[in-house]
């Protein structure tokens, strides 16, 4: 099991244990046997995620404030902007998800709240999502079985992010800014179905499912 | 069929749900039982032109950016001539910058 | 006559790889690269099946998807598949095929007697012959026709193979890998634009694989290899062989089927049998070629009578001669090319019979080598198990020829099915005597032979030019490619349709082989008034078989045109519809099957409920725990009763996470919600809950639920499970479309929070053990309808509402979903001293009926707030959705079906949802109907069956004795109309 430092820190403080491995999540090698798996899948835990939606007419002011605080503003649709320890992904008109991982969360959040103050609605939504991280040489072959948007690596470049339909579910699919991995997020209740859809699609290439962890 | 969502780009029909003709909601005044007012709501709720040709309709990008879109579609050919966010365009800057 | 045989040397088959297969149980051998049809022809097999209606012996007509006759059943057991065209089946080791429509054997078919019943089975026979007596249709006629006329039979067990979908995107999709498709693809590829090239064959080349053309002085095959090699090496090119583009949809979306493993006995592990592609293409080039049409003459369906181009194809690609004594019957120059190829292969044709009175130029070598009959016509073809003689007539008289095959060439029809999927009306082209695609529509343009251009040089040029035009339209820079030089090619022809009016009645002149439609059927349709092409098609079933009339439609139209004295153009043509080639349902379904048929939603405590042995019920996509049976519970009812009793006497916990949760935030939140909702959300105090009622604009209830107001500018709406998605969409509509000026944002948070309802007299004690200090769960400190953001279990953020759906003192507790499993475990721990139980949706449903709360059966899209007794909660003095139209007299008519309770006079008499209510002793009829039961259950609290009902004038009938009639079960129960709240109507229990 990977080190869930961010999570276990909170666990120690809280009297309830965070569920890190859902009942449907089976680890290990599956599908076609072979030396190297074509795809590696891992459930990402420990993400923080905020839904940010600008107040009416305040989008520009929000950009300015974020730029002043973090040095950059997430202005491009369906792209990721890394700033201040957050990945800001633009998911709709005047709507973003701010995702962050790792230590110093409280300081980071305070800074974000301060930058946003009354310019946007900010709702913590991390628990509403299940996120699978996909790596390996055959990831795009797996995804094109399900995803109708163009995943040509030149079109869907590092940092790209779309909300789209996948096997009847609405998913948020993004390519990490280093370009090495894809992350597929879905409303928590659909996690089992998405896991099933992705793992079945990946089986022909040999799949390794890693224990849930903070990547 | 594809709809060119102003935010998300070309997306498959299956990601959207349609709400029918784009009809303006009548403006209500204080007398809610006024016959003309009621008639205007009846007209807006029940009566549809169903033209063979250009049709303005609302679509919701449910499996995408969750925007309500105003779509101009030719009912004879399904050709879509225009798609814009139903909510007024304060986001123009964001789109182009 | 002996039929076909394999030639030495020639062909694209791999003679080093012999392949064994069986047809009707008999072993045969072929080569790698053969089709089932070519291998059987090489083995001298002539009869491939029996025809649809008359069970006439049939052989192979063509060499591809146009094949109407040679349909076989392929494979065995669960993989058995009927109606496969032998001409499209790649031969593989161990292939097992069977002929169809024969009983008891292919050689002798008892059903061939149908041939003698031809007058009965003629066009329109379904409509005329079997009309009377009426009861006979179902019992006698239909089963008989189905047995006699069925095509093959599908396997009955579950398909063991897997199918998958895949998605591709490109600038230009090229459909067809023949000469035009290859130059088109190469032009696009070299420009750097993205191209997808699809061909239904296993190898690219199209007609160049079937013919002996020369390009740049070399065999055309060599040019194909070079181009394919170049394309395959380019990263912007995706080549899909064995892939039929089957349909085109609006916006440049194409459906294609890749036969991944159809050329194998069974798919390799992890290999799908077929892959269903969705290809989004900005432009598409339809280079699907052209299909030859046969000439229509008496006996033209006898085995051995084939398309001339197919004869040439078998010769050149497969090294198969279809016969030893072949006659050429032609109206085209192309027929003469076939004659020349046969001569070259050492199989000198018996004769070339040309419908034209003048021999075409450029074929003097052929005319010198074989007898030529000009202005000739075949008036009879004989041979019970394959053609053995033909009678030919021309100005100089009649000749009889002994033959074992006839190569028939009536001209070529461009394959424009895809273009006409897209409302493209085909246009008549006099020069080629066929229809071509109309104008380019939706980015799809035809090229090559599909446009009616047949000379190879022109075809190559057309592909390249079409690609350049497509790239120009995409504003993608491109250069013309150097095209190879082709030799001149003669493409002349004459119109040579079957003509009515001479001695030939057309009774044995087949137009549509697969559906057994003859020229005389077209005559009959005309005589009976079915003259429009659409009527002709339906009356005769012309072109409605699996070959989609590729070889038949035009001949029938031409006959109709002559009968009606119109041109073919005026007669018109039917459009084809998807799919161009058959698609297995499994391929369309892909991996949407069994448990993955559609996605399911699980609540955060699903894993816990599984551990507890919960039984789940489907509520939309959700899996909800329905009940938690104990080992000694007799049934669902016993469990539900136990759970209800425990909640009402002690305490229980249930999962209500499926309820929709929408956070409404912003300075205008209250003002916005006042417009959306029929009650007055602005009047809900901070830290309190309030009822939620939303109407549709027509005044009907959209949904009901609860609000919690946590701050001046922040509410959470809890809406019903069933309506959660549509309510959210509706609220977004109000915000984005109707009232965009409100400064308010909506965030869907259903999945963010786990929500547990903890209900029962002991629930405060359980809650007290969960909440962190200083929160106190007392009557005074946390009364019903209080809402608070607190922490529980040592710091976990929580939202707690004093809400009751059961009528008991009750709380709804939410924490972030990831803590859900731990929370319910903790609840069960701290609740154990109080006898806490988990209860499911069944017990919850019972308690809500006992309390008279409306749910799905009542908020059913027909009822109003007035009907359900909620009108007092609605505001009459503000403009909200539904305000104006809900005031219409018909929607506030006391006689409307309105909510009441109903109780049988004998508590053990079961009443069921859906049963109707009638006045006591009235005869059940629509006139006496008072309403219906919308929900019912057994109430352990009252020890009686109870129900909620929508009854005309309901609340005014309290105390009335009525009859509950269930027409489905034909039961009648005496009952009484009672108030809708059965338990604790004053609400005292919820306030302890």
B62/A77 Cβ within 8 A: no
Give the mean model confidence (pLDDT) for residues C365-373.
96
pLDDT tens digit sequence for C880-916: 999 999 999 999 999 999 999 999 999 999 999 999 9
Under 8 Å between Cβ of C350 and C504: no
Whether residue C792 sits in one domain with residue C654: yes
**Nearest residue on chain C to B69, judged by CA atoms?**
C737
CB contact under 8 A, C250 and B19: no
C599 to A194: CB separation less than 8 angstroms, yes or no = yes
Which of A68-82, C8-22, C106-120, C305-319 has the least mean pLDDT?
C106-120
Residue C28 Cα distances to B74, C36, C49, C94, angstroms: 57, 10, 17, 10
Give Cα C767 to chain centroid, integer Å: 52
Q: What is the structure's pLDDT at A3? A: 36
The mean predicted confidence, pLDDT, of chain A is: 91
Cβ proximity of C513 and C306 under 8 Å: no
Does A55 sit within 8 Å of C745, measured CB to CB? yes
CB contact at 8 A, A89 and A174? yes
Domain region containing C278: 163-290+414-473
Supply B9's token pair.
């780009």
C408 CA to chain A: closest CA distance, Å?
A: 45
Inform me whether the C-beta atom of residue C253 falls under 8 Å from chain B C-beta atoms. Answer: yes
Specify whether C109 is located in the same domain as C246: no
Query: Distance between CA A174 and CA C600 in Å, rounded?
Result: 23
The structure tokens 């835990």 sit at A45
Determine the distance in angstroms separating the CA of B78 from the nearest CA of chain A, rounded to an integer.
20
With beta carbons less than 8 A apart as the criterion, state whether C946 and C849 touch: yes
Q: Chain B residues with CB inside 8 Å of A76's CB?
A: 97
Q: How many angstroms separate the CA atoms of C464 and C462, rounded?
A: 5
| Nearest beta carbon to residue C885 from set B3, B41, B77 | B41
Based on the fold, state whether residues C514 and C628 are members of the same structural domain: no
Mutation to test the B interface, candidates C168, C248, C250, C592, most B Cβ within 10 Å: C250
- pLDDT over 50 (residue C935): yes
Domain stops at, among C70, C97, C125: C125
Instruction: Say what the pLDDT of residue C133 is.
Output: 57
Task: Show residues of chain A in contact with C725, CB under 8 Å.
Answer: none
Task: With beta carbons under 8 A apart, name residues in chain B contacting A57.
Answer: 90
At residue C507 the predicted structure's pLDDT band, cuts being 50, 70 and 90, is confident
Q: Say if CB C75 and CB C22 are below 8 A apart.
A: no
Average pLDDT of the segment spanning A4-13: 46
Interface check for B62 against chain A (CB to CB < 8 A): the answer is yes
C559 in the same domain as C418: no
* Candidates C697, C736, C884; nearest CB to B86: C736
Within-domain flag for C332: no
Put simply, the answer to whether C879 touches B32 (Cβ < 8 Å) is yes
Whether C674 and C726 map to the same domain: the answer is: yes
**pLDDT at residue B91 in the model:** 42
Contact A197 C270 (CB under 8 A): no
Q: pLDDT confidence of C114, banded at 50, 70, 90?
A: low
pLDDT at residue C420, as a whole number:
86
Kind of pairing between the strands at B68-74 and B54-60: antiparallel
Matching residue, tokens 């962890």: A213
Average pLDDT rounded to a whole number, residues C566-592: 88
pLDDT at A17 over 60: yes
- Same-domain status, C730 and C764: no
Min distance B97 CA to chain C CA atoms (Å)? 23
Within 8 A of B37 by CB-CB distance, chain C residues are: 884
For C697, name the nearest residue in chain B, comparing CA atoms only: B45
pLDDT-based confidence at residue C105 (cuts at 50, 70, 90):
low
Cα C202 to the chain's mean position, in Å?
26
Q: What CATH number does residue C257 fall under?
A: 3.50.50.60
Q: At what angle do helices C841-851 and C636-649 cross, to 10 degrees?
A: 60
Same structural domain, C66 and C91? yes
Give dist(CA B90, CA C676) in Å, integer: 23
Closest Cβ opposite residue C736 in set B45, B62, B67: B67
pLDDT, tens digit (0-9, with 9 covering 90-100), for C258-278: 999 999 999 999 999 999 999
How many distinct structural domains can be found in chain C?
5
Are the Cβ atoms of A196 and C622 closer than 8 angstroms?
A: no
- Residue B29 in any domain: the answer is no
Of A57, A75, A93, the CB nearest to B97: A75
Asked if the structure places residue B8 within a domain, the reply is yes
Mean pLDDT over C560-567 rounds to 93
- Indicate yes or no: CB of A94 within 8 angstroms of CB of B62: no
pTM (2 d.p.): 0.93
The pLDDT assigned to A6 comes to 42
Task: Say whether C697 and B38 touch across the interface (CB within 8 A).
Answer: no
Mark yes or no for CB contact B8/A94 under 8 Å: no
Q: Could you tell me the residue ranges of all domains in chain A? A: 5-46+128-213, 48-126
Question: C80-116 burial string, b = 16+ CB within 10 Å, else e?
Answer: bbbbbbbbbbbbbeebbbbbbbbeeebeebebbebbe
Are C246 and C203 in contact by the 8 Å Cβ rule? The answer is no
Helix %, strand %, coil % of chain A (to 5)? 25, 35, 40
If you average pLDDT over residues C24-42, what whole number do you get? 96
Is C540 among the domain residues?
A: yes
Residue ending a domain, among C565, C590, C621, is: C565
3-state secondary structure of A22: coil
Residues C768 and C834 in one domain: yes
**pLDDT grade, residue C116 (50/70/90)?**
low
Domain boundary among C819, C847, C875: C847
Q: Does residue C930 lie within any of the structural domains?
A: no
- Among the partner-chain residues B9, B62, B65, the one whose CB lies closest to the CB of A93 is B65
The answer on C764 and C735 residing in a single domain is no
Record: contact A164-B15, CB cut-off 8 A:
yes
Distance CA C214, CA C179 (A): 12
Which of C1, C11, C122, C124 lies closest to C63, judged by CA? C11
Question: Are residues C234 and C117 located together in one domain of the fold?
Answer: no
Q: Read off the pLDDT of residues C710-765 as tens digits, 9 standing for 90 and up.
A: 999 999 999 999 899 999 999 999 999 999 999 999 999 999 999 999 999 999 99
Domain-located, residue C794? yes
pLDDT of A7 > 50? The answer is: no
The residues with which B71 forms a beta bridge, in sequence order, are B57, B83
A93 with B7: Cβ contact below 8 A: yes
Contacts 24+ apart (CB under 8 A), C886-895: C886/C678, C886/C695, C886/C699, C887/B32, C887/B33, C887/B38, C887/C699, C888/B38, C888/C699, C891/C699, C891/C864, C891/C866, C892/C864, C892/C866, C894/C953, C894/C956, C895/C952, C895/C953
Q: Same domain for C96 and C41?
A: yes
Sign of CA dihedral C129, C135, C141, C146: positive
Residue B95 confidence (pLDDT): 38
C605 closest CA partner among C383, C847, C819, C869 = C819
Task: Write b or e for each residue in C125-160: b if 16 or more Cβ atoms lie within 10 A of its Cβ, otherwise e.
Answer: bbeeebeeeeeeeeeeeeeebeebbebbeebeeebe
Closest Cα partner for C410 from C519, C554, C611, C616?
C554
Suggest the residue from C799, C818, C830 to mutate for an interface test with chain A (most A CBs closer than 10 A): C818
Any idea what the CATH number is for the domain that residue C519 is in? 1.10.10.1100
Average the pLDDT over C512-535 and give the result.
Answer: 91
| Model confidence at A181: pLDDT above 80 | yes
Q: Specify the pLDDT at position C2.
A: 62
Does C725 lie at the interface with B, CB-CB under 8 angstroms? yes
Query: The domain containing residue B89 runs over which residues?
Result: 2-22+36-96
* CATH number of the domain encompassing residue B74: 3.30.2270.10
pLDDT score for A5: 38
Q: How far is C744 from chain B (nearest CA, A)?
A: 13
Confidence of residue B90 (pLDDT cuts 50, 70, 90): very low
Instruction: Tell me the nearest-neighbour CA distance from C551 into chain B, angstroms.
Output: 30
**Range from C116-130, C519-533, C557-571 carrying the lowest mean pLDDT:** C116-130
Contact A92 B11 (CB under 8 A): no
pLDDT digits (tens, 9 = 90+) for C78-99: 898 888 999 999 999 999 999 8
Looking at the fold, whether C253 and C195 belong to one and the same domain comes out as yes
Give me the pLDDT at residue B97, please: 33
Domain assignment present for residue C491? The answer is no
CB contact under 8 A, C736 and B12: no
Question: Is C706 contained in some domain?
Answer: yes
Say yes or no: domain A48-126 is CATH 3.30.70.1400. yes
Paired sense of beta strands C405-409 and C305-307, if any: parallel
- State residue C502's pLDDT score: 63
Residue C773 lies in a domain: yes
Q: State percent of chain C over pLDDT 90.
A: 80
In a domain, B30, yes or no: no
Q: Does C251 touch chain B (CB under 8 A)?
A: yes
Domain total of chain B: 1
Is B90 within 8 Å of A59 when comparing Cβ atoms? yes
Q: Percentage of chain C with pLDDT > 70? A: 94
- Pick C884's closest partner by Cβ from B12, B38, B79: B38
A-chain residue closest to B92, CA distance: A93
Architecture of domain A5-46+128-213: 2-Layer Sandwich (3.30)
Q: Give the mean pLDDT of chain C.
A: 92
ipTM of the complex: 0.95
C960-C963-C969 Cα angle (round to 5): 155
Show the tokens assigned to C285. 């080039």
Chains that touch A (3 or more CB pairs under 8 A): B, C
């Amino acid at each position: 099991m990977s080190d869930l430092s961010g999570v276990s820190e909170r666990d120690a403080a809280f009297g309830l244990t965070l569920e890190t491995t859902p009942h449907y999540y089976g680890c290990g090698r599956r599908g076609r046997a072979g030396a190297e798996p074509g795809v590696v899948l891992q459930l990402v835990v420990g993400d923080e995620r905020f839904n940010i939606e600008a107040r009416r007419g305040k989008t520009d002011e929000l950009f300015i404030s974020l730029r002043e605080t973090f040095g950059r503003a997430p202005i491009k649709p369906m792209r990721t902007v890394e700033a201040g320890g957050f990945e800001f992904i633009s998911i709709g008109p005047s709507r973003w998800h701010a995702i962050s991982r790792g230590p110093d969360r409280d300081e980071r959040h305070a800074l974000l709240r301060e930058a946003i103050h009354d310019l946007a609605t900010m709702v913590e939504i991390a628990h509403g999502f299940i996120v699978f991280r996909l790596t390996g040489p055959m990831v795009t072959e797996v995804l094109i079985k399900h995803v109708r948007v163009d995943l040509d690596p030149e079109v869907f470049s590092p940092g790209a992010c779309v909300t789209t339909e996948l096997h009847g579910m609405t998913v948020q699919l993004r390519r990490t800014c280093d370009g090495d991995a894809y992350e597929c997020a879905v409303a928590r209740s659909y996690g089992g179905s998405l896991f099933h859809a992705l793992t079945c699609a990946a089986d022909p290439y040999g799949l390794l499912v890693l224990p849930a962890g903070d990547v | 069929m594809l709809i060119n969502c102003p935010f998300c780009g070309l997306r498959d029909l299956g990601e959207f749900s349609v709400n029918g003709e784009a009809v303006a909601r009548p403006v209500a005044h204080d007398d809610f039982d006024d016959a003309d007012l009621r008639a205007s709501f009846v007209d807006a709720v029940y009566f549809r032109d169903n033209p063979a040709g250009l049709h303005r309709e609302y679509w919701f990008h449910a499996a995408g950016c969750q925007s309500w879109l105003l779509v101009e579609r030719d009912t004879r050919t399904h050709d879509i001539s225009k798609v814009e966010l139903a909510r007024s365009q304060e986001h123009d800057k964001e789109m182009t910058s | 006559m002996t039929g076909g045989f394999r030639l030495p040397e020639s062909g694209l088959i791999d003679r080093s790889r012999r392949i064994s297969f069986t047809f009707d149980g008999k072993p045969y051998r072929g080569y790698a690269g053969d089709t089932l049809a070519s291998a059987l022809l090489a083995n001298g097999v002539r009869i491939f099946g029996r025809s649809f209606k008359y069970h006439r012996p049939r052989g192979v007509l063509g060499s591809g998807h146009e094949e109407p006759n040679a349909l076989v059943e392929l494979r065995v057991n669960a993989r058995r598949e009927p109606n496969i065209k032998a001409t499209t089946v790649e031969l593989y080791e161990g292939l097992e095929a069977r002929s169809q429509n024969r009983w008891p054997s292919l050689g002798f078919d008892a059903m061939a007697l149908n041939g003698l019943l031809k007058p009965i089975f003629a066009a329109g026979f379904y409509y005329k012959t079997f009309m009377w007596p009426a009861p006979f249709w179902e019992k006698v006629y239909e089963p008989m026709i189905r047995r006699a006329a069925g095509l093959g039979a599908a396997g009955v067990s579950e398909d063991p193979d897997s199918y998958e979908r895949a998605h591709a995107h490109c600038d230009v999709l090229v459909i067809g890998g023949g000469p035009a498709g290859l130059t088109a693809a190469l032009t696009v590829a070299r420009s750097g634009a993205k191209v997808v090239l699809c061909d239904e064959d296993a190898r690219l080349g199209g007609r160049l694989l079937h013919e002996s053309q020369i390009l740049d002085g070399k065999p055309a095959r060599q040019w194909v290899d070079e181009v394919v090699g170049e394309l395959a090496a380019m990263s912007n090119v995706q080549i899909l062989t064995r892939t039929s583009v089957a349909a085109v949809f609006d916006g440049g979306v194409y459906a294609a089927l890749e036969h991944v493993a159809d050329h194998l006995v069974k798919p390799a592990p992890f290999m799908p049998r077929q892959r269903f592609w969705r290809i989004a293409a900005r432009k598409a080039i339809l280079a699907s070629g052209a299909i030859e049409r046969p000439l229509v003459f008496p006996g033209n369906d006898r085995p051995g009578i084939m398309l001339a181009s197919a004869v040439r194809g078998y010769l050149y690609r497969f090294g198969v001669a279809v016969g030893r004594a072949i006659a050429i019957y032609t109206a085209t120059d192309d027929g003469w090319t076939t004659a020349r190829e046969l001569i070259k292969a050492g199989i000198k044709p018996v004769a070339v019979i040309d419908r034209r009175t003048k021999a075409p130029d450029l074929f003097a070598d052929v005319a010198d080598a074989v007898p030529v009959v000009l202005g000739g016509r075949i008036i009879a073809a004989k041979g019970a198990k394959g053609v053995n003689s033909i009678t030919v007539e021309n100005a100089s008289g009649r000749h009889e020829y002994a033959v074992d095959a006839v190569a028939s060439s009536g001209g070529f029809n461009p394959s424009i099915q895809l273009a006409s999927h897209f409302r493209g009306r085909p246009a008549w082209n006099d020069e080629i005597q066929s229809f071509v695609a109309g104008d380019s529509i939706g980015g799809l343009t035809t090229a090559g032979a599909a446009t009616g251009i047949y000379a190879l040089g022109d075809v190559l040029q057309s592909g390249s030019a079409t690609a350049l035009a497509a790239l120009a339209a995409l504003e993608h820079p491109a250069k013309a490619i150097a095209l190879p030089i082709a030799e001149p090619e003669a493409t002349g022809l004459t119109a040579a349709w079957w003509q009515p009016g001479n001695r030939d009645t057309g009774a044995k002149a087949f137009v549509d082989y697969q559906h057994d439609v003859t020229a005389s059927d077209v005559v009959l349709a005309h005589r009976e008034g079915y003259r429009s092409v659409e009527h002709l098609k339906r009356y005769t079933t012309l072109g409605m078989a699996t070959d989609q009339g590729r070889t038949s439609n035009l001949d029938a139209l031409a006959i109709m045109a002559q009968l009606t004295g119109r041109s073919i153009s005026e007669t018109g043509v039917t459009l084809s519809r998807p799919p161009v080639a058959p698609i297995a349902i499994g391929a369309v379904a892909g991996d949407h099957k069994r448990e993955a048929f559609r996605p399911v939603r699980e609540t955060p405590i699903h894993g816990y409920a599984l551990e507890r042995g919960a039984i789940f019920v489907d509520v939309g996509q959700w899996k909800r725990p329905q009940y938690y049976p104990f080992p000694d519970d007799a049934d669902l009812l016993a469990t539900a009763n136990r759970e209800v009793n425990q909640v009402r006497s002690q305490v229980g916990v249930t999962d209500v996470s499926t309820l929709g949760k929408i956070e409404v935030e912003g300075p205008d939140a209250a003002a916005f919600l006042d417009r959306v909702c029929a009650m007055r959300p602005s009047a809900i105090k901070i830290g309190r809950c309030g009822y939620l009622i939303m109407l549709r604009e027509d005044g009907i209830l959209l949904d009901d639920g609860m609000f919690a107001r946590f701050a001046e500018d922040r509410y959470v709406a809890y809406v019903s499970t069933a309506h959660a998605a549509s309510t959210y969409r509706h609220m977004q509509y109000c915000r984005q479309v109707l009232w965009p000026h409100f400064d308010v944002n909506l965030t869907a948070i259903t999945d963010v929070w786990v929500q547990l309802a903890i209900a029962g007299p002991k629930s405060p004690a359980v809650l007290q053990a969960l909440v962190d200090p200083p929160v106190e769960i007392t009557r005074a400190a946390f009364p019903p309808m209080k809402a608070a953001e607190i922490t529980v279990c040592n710091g976990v953020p929580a939202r707690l509402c004093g809400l009751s759906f059961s009528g008991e003192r009750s709380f709804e507790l939410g924490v972030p979903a990831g803590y859900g499993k731990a929370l319910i475990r903790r609840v069960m721990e701290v609740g154990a001293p109080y006898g806490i139980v988990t209860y499911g949706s069944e017990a919850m449903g019972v308690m809500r009926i006992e309390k008279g709360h409306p749910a799905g059966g009542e908020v059913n899209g027909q009822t109003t707030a007035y009907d359900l007794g909620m009108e007092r909660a609605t505001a009459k003095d503000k403009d909200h959705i539904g305000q104006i139209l809900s005031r219409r007299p018909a929607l506030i008519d006391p006689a409307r079906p309105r909510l009441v309770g109903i109780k049988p006079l004998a508590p053990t008499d079961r009443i069921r949802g859906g049963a109707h209510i009638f006045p006591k002793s009235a005869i059940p009829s629509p006139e006496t109907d008072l309403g219906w039961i919308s929900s019912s259950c057994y109430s352990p609290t009252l020890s009686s069956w109870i129900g909620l009902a929508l009854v005309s004038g309901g609340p005014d009938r309290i105390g009335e004795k009525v009859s509950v009639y269930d027409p489905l079960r034909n039961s009648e129960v005496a009952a009484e109309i009672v108030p809708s709240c059965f338990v604790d109507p004053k609400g005292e229990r919820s306030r302890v």
